[in-house]
Structure 1
């Protein structure tokens, strides 16, 4: 399929809060970039989660949506606000989708952009987060939850680490490090969790033998948090377990300027989901003030993933056009309020779509 021109089918899920606004802004940029790259228009497949799904189907993550995702290779997921769902429906759609579809890798880059006042101007790293196990209670059991209360006054949680999961996320991280600066940091807490995070660390070093050109170090998660603030430029690719990766990537996102800039891709070998790191921000919903950059950059990551899977150079070009247009727009001083700018969501998106055609 190298150089072919077949239409791409992508799921499109608005989500809650600012979701419909940033998803619409992302769709507009993707459509423009795909057209500029000379590809057929994207075949969008709209799907429901969250409050819209509750209203239509009585559940925040209906079977209709899950069945449709089974038939798709890739989709864009808007943020959701599961804390506002009725008590009996407090499912987190993103986590449930990751578990059902086996999206074991969460790739979260953090880089400073010209024109953005970053706390750490030199930051340029990627956090590779294991997405299926660890301390996350919704993803570490075959049935039921890994978090439970044996008595009214006692709450307990189970963390799960398997060699298979550690190996596959390590391979993902090492492959990415080879494409970047050949430097990888394994993050763990083996001094107090030697069996669980110690297994993660040890398996990563075992996998390292297959990537001799990559320089490997390891650090405790608390030390890495301090090190990120002091010298973020020392890091290239970080690989870690689920909870640590979630926390460190939020920190890295803020250091790069704003969580509104924090993109991510959830993927397996067969499926991928673009999802911004930030939440639904319900207080901003409907005001045309949300920053769409995180989801737009997430969509670019999705197109690059598809380009490799389909061997389609045009999708790589479309992804490059999106990232280049976002960077050029920010460098020109156009930004939303969270970045200290005056642009609305739609105004920022218009500026990006206009720059998509410039190489």
Structure 2
């Protein structure tokens, strides 16, 4: 008998508990399509952990993440946490660094029947380098990447390494090779940041030579933002550095219908973390207003990453069916349903398809 699939679930803050409950209900509904039994372990992070253990992400949680097959991470309110020396660490940044999750895969696509700001249908993926760049909480071995030498001067270091650039480039080209369009666009600003983005660009060009089946072009980040607004369908897989990827993926997801639909998967050589692309939305927490699709689709991506293709396909198809009609959408998508009712609709769709 196969070993169980061990998933660590971290609810987080704000709407985290609500959308995690919805996600686990959908996962349970899809269980007949899974190859292995799923074992769920829950641990507290965020304000709940800070109150009881003095840290927003205790060491025991990090160790549990290292032994799990995958992690489902709810949104966190890290901007509201106390300073690091008072226990306020960003759980997302900590897990990315501790688990060496060098890639952040962020798909954005339009859905049949659902109006979106983009006037053209599209299906793209932003492959974002996840461990360096301007992200000061994870780009140094010790200490942060920002400092103030005097009260009126703040400085930030941007770190770009050959090894990390090669890793994200290979992950992006490997993904593109498996997609129908087989097209990579590398996003950069090497005309200004000639050394850092120049190194990144050199690495992606070197990897491109290994994938003869994939077409390859390059685009400045400001031009990429403009072209995304004009015609996102021209893109397939975008490979880029940390901050550019963070910004462009949010833009692409809004063009597709909103961050409530934006799945995200962080992964490295040995670990993977599903994480909704949006924040914790404390203003609607507990009001049955949250759209759980982002975390559900993130978990679908995690299942696919772990080889559970049938269950992942089942969840994605059921989400597509639910989004097609206003009466089975959440209110943020001009539908009629709250979180709980939408979850019931979606779990019923999954269960019916799983029979």
Residue 70 (str. 1) matches residue 66 (str. 2): yes
How far has the Cα of 1:73 moved from its partner? 2.3
- Matched ranges for 1:87-98 at <5 A: 87=83, 88-98=86-96
Which residue in 2 is equivalent to 1:345? 339
- Matched ranges for 1:32-111 at <5 A: 32-35=29-32, 37=33, 39-87=35-83, 88-111=86-109
CA distance in structure 2 between the partners assigned to 1:38 and 1:116 by the alignment: 29
2:330 aligned to which of 336, 344, 358: 336
How far has the Cα of 1:71 moved from its partner? 1.1
Which residue in 1 is equivalent to 2:185? 185
2:113 aligned to which of 112, 115, 126: 115
Which residue in 1 is equivalent to 2:316? 323
CA distance in structure 1 between the partners assigned to 2:97 and 2:17 by the alignment: 24
Say if 1:38 and 1:97 are closer, same or farther in 2 by CA, change over 3 A.
closer
How far has the Cα of 1:116 moved from its partner? 1.9
Residues 5 and 69, structure 2, Cα contact 8 Å, conserved in 1: no
Moved more, 326-335 or 167-176: 326-335
How far has the Cα of 1:280 moved from its partner? 0.1
How far has the Cα of 1:337 moved from its partner? 1.8
Structure 1: stretches of 5+ with no match in the other structure: 308-314
After TM superposition, the score normalised by the length of structure 2 is: 0.96
How far has the Cα of 1:102 moved from its partner? 0.3
Which residue in 1 is equivalent to 2:277? 277
Which residue in 1 is equivalent to 2:15? 18
Deviations 1:235-272 (A, max 9, x none): 00000000000000000010000110010000001110
Residues 6 and 39, structure 1, Cα contact 8 Å, conserved in 2: no
Which residue in 2 is equivalent to 1:292? 292
Count matched residues.
348
How far has the Cα of 1:138 moved from its partner? 1.0
CA distance in structure 1 between the partners assigned to 2:341 and 2:234 by the alignment: 36
CA distance in structure 2 between the partners assigned to 1:45 and 1:284 by the alignment: 26
Which residue in 2 is equivalent to 1:311? none
RMSD of aligned Cα (Å): 1.2
How far has the Cα of 1:5 moved from its partner? 5.0
Aligned with 1:358: secondary structure?
helix
Residues 187 and 238, structure 2, Cα contact 8 Å, conserved in 1: yes
Which residue in 2 is equivalent to 1:151? 150
Q: Which ranges of 4 or more aligned residues in structure 1 deviate by more than 4 Å?
A: none
CA distance in structure 2 between the partners assigned to 1:45 and 1:105 by the alignment: 24
